[in-house]
Structure 1
Amino acid sequence: MTARDRVAVIIEDDADIRRLLEEVLEQGGFETHSAGNGLDGVEKVRRYRPTLTTLDVSMPGIDGFEAAKRIRAFSDTYLIMLTARTEEIDTLMGLESGADDYIAKPFRPRELRARIDAMMRRPRLAASGGDGDQSASPSTDTVPPDVPAGEKASAQPGAPAEPATATASPPSAAVVVPATAAGDEDWIEHRGLRVEPDMRLVVVDGEEVELTRSEFDLLSLIISSRRRVRSKADLALALRGESYVTSYYVSDADKRAVEVHLANLRRKLGENASQPRWIETVRGVGYRLTADDGA
């Protein structure tokens, strides 16, 4: 990542916390721009096109949830919500509004830096409205993009025994077909669902589907794993850019975040969770790809 990429916008109404965040991020090599309310923060994201944005939830004017939705309508910035509101519903609302991570106050600067580093190891999609174009309409569940839109690297979440940032290769059981929209690249196909990991494209029955970064990462890991069950903890670590080799702590909030992303993914794919076409739930364990027969 170049110095040009290390731009951050801080949206925080508490002046002391704002200064702390500026110090922490500037120590990490970021150029920072701060705002004391949601409306000004959204405009600064539009103006500076940051790689990273930190966002408070309780602010004057529009709150952090609404600010996140507006930001996601035009920006692919990595978005971290920082808030004293730690109820489960607040965490879920933050993730559904488009946040990449949700950290409770008071936070430890070292933990914040670690979370940022983990996020930025994950690939990013090319933003479809980075020029401020509002033509991208928010979805009813999660406002795109979380980041839809083209990421810098082709790394995919790895299995628990491997670094999560390693590129995921489809196992031999996967059905790989020639691509029709990505040059010479190969696609992984299952019952009308086609995924191109390197180009980060998803097609269902011939129609392209726009997913958030987290949704795509989960789908790519599950479809590449085929019938192997992926636990919620495994998937949560993968979303954080980690694995059981480098980390082992997964909170209940992390697991609930996986459930939210999977629910959003299923809605976008048009899948019924009770009669899944692609992703089946293994109760008490996690998720796996459905069997090849009975399309």
Structure 2
Amino acid sequence: MDPQGRDTMTEASTGRVLVVEDEPDLARLIRDYLQNAGFRVEVRHDGAEAVSAVRDFAPNVLVLDIGLPGTDGFEVCRQVRTFSDCHVLMLTARDDEVDKIVGLSLGADDYVTKPFSPRELVARIQSMMRRARFAPTVAGQPMDEPSGLIHQIGELRVDGSSRQVHLSEKPILLTKTEFDLLASLAAHPKQVLSRRQLLDMVWGDDWASDNHLVDVHLARVRRKLGEDAANPRYIHTVRGIGYRMEAPA
């Protein structure tokens, strides 16, 4: 703590965080740690309030418990993704792979399993706020920055300046995470990028999570592009390694 009583465990942050957690003590603990780290924080305790709060508060990050009364966290995430591109960090009381996959498939960016360290949660949120994130090197070689560039691969156009994607002139709506993954692949056509490299590019090299995040989010990108994973046109799986972007022959 500094002389004013603020937590100096991390650098000061700016941004808005909405915490949706039905356990009042845990919600207060999360709020206090985030406020000490410099965030503006609002708290809600049920799913019905959460969706309205996202519209009104427009958070940069939504910390969302899955096990909410009434409207659960999965449904909240589904509704929020129809109008907001905020980062979503889901909280789950069980180390259940199914819960994680469902949450990610609905558009969450990551998950934390209870019990968790409030310091770790703050660090995760600060890492989210540093996006867009692209790794500086691949195999030790400098990489081009996808941000601000236009990449045309076949009929797929990825515009880093406007963060827009068009396929055959049709707009494709992606979340921040989905766009960053697609832009990272598009910036390096025909180059195989490992799951770990993509995780570092999009989530940051200090992201303490598993590579499964990449698979789930790219599955969503493929669906939005109308891709068949068994017979892909643009995003090719390199078994045991990662992914490669290539235009149809």
The bucket for the TM-score relative to the shorter chain is 0.7 to 0.9
Q: Deviation of residue 7 (structure 1)?
A: 2.3
TM-fit CA distance, 1:288: 0.8
Which of 278, 282, 285 is matched with 2:241 structurally?
Answer: 285
Equivalent of residue 236 in structure 1, options 199, 209, 217:
199
Alignment-derived partner of residue 66 in structure 1:
75
Do the aligned partners of 1:191 and 1:277 also contact (CA within 8 Å) in 2?
A: no
Deviation at 1:238, TM superposition (A): 2.1
Number of the residue aligned with 2:163: 200
Q: Is the 8 A contact 1:10 1:33 kept in 2?
A: yes
Q: Deviations over 1:149-178 (max 9, x none)?
A: xxxxxx64544568x9x97159xxxxxxxx
Find out whether 1:263 has 2:219 as its counterpart. Answer: yes
Counterpart of 2:231? 275
Which residue matches 2:151? Answer: 188
Q: How many residues align?
A: 237
Q: TM-score, normalised by structure 1?
A: 0.73
Give the one of 7, 16, 20 matched to 1:7. 16
Unaligned residue ranges in structure 1 (runs of 5+): 124-154, 171-184
1:113-163 Cα distance to aligned partner (Å, 9 max, x none):
21111111113xxxxxxxxxxxxxxxxxxxxxxxxxxxxxxx64544568x
Show the counterpart of 2:7: none
Q: Which whole-Å CA distance do the structure 1 matches of 2:136 and 2:227 have between them?
A: 25
Question: Is the 8 Å Cα contact of residues 115 and 240 (structure 1) preserved in structure 2?
Answer: no
In structure 2, the residue matched to 1:126 is none
Residue 31 (str. 1) matches residue 8 (str. 2): no
1:168 aligns with 2:149: no
Residue 234 of structure 1 aligns to a residue in which SS?
helix
Q: Distance in 2 between matches of 1:41 and 1:275?
A: 39
Deviation at 1:223, TM superposition (A): 1.4
* Whole-angstrom distance in 2 between the partners of 1:228 and 1:85: 37
Q: Distance in 2 between matches of 1:278 and 1:108?
A: 40
Aligned to 1:224: 187
Aligned CA distance change for structure 1 residues 117 and 199 (closer, same or farther; 3 Å)? same
Is the Cα–Cα contact under 8 Å of residues 150 and 161 in structure 2 kept in the other structure?
no
Letter in 2 for 1:70: Q
Q: Which residue of 1 aligns with 2:56?
A: 47
Deviation of residue 221 (structure 1)?
0.9
Q: Which runs of 4 or more aligned residues in structure 1 lie more than 4 Å from their structure 2 counterparts after TM superposition?
A: 155-158
Q: Residue 250 and residue 18 in structure 1: after superposition, are their counterparts in 2 closer, same or farther (change >3 A)?
A: closer
Per-residue CA deviations over 1:259-280 (Å, capped at 9, x if unaligned) read 1111111111112222221111
The 1-side partners of 2:228 and 2:244 are apart by: 15
Which is further off, 106-115 or 17-26?
A: 106-115
The TM-score with structure 2 as length reference comes to 0.86
Query: Which residue identity is paired with 1:287?
Result: Y
1:109 paired residue number: 118
Please give the per-residue CA displacement for 1:59-111, whole angstroms capped at 9, x wherever unaligned.
11111111111222222322211121221111111112221221111111221
Matched residue, 1:130: none
The one-letter code matched in structure 1 to 2:16 is V
What is the letter of the counterpart of residue 192 of structure 2?
A: V
Runs of 5+ in structure 2 lacking a partner? 1-11
2:128 pairs, out of 106, 110, 119, with 119
Task: Give the residue type in structure 1 aligned to 2:109.
Answer: D
SS in 1 for 2:174: coil
User: Alpha-carbon deviation of 1:187?
Assistant: 2.4
* Identical counterparts, % of pairs: 41
Assess, with a 3 A threshold, how the Cα gap between structure 1 residues 233 and 31 changes in structure 2: closer, same or farther.
Answer: same
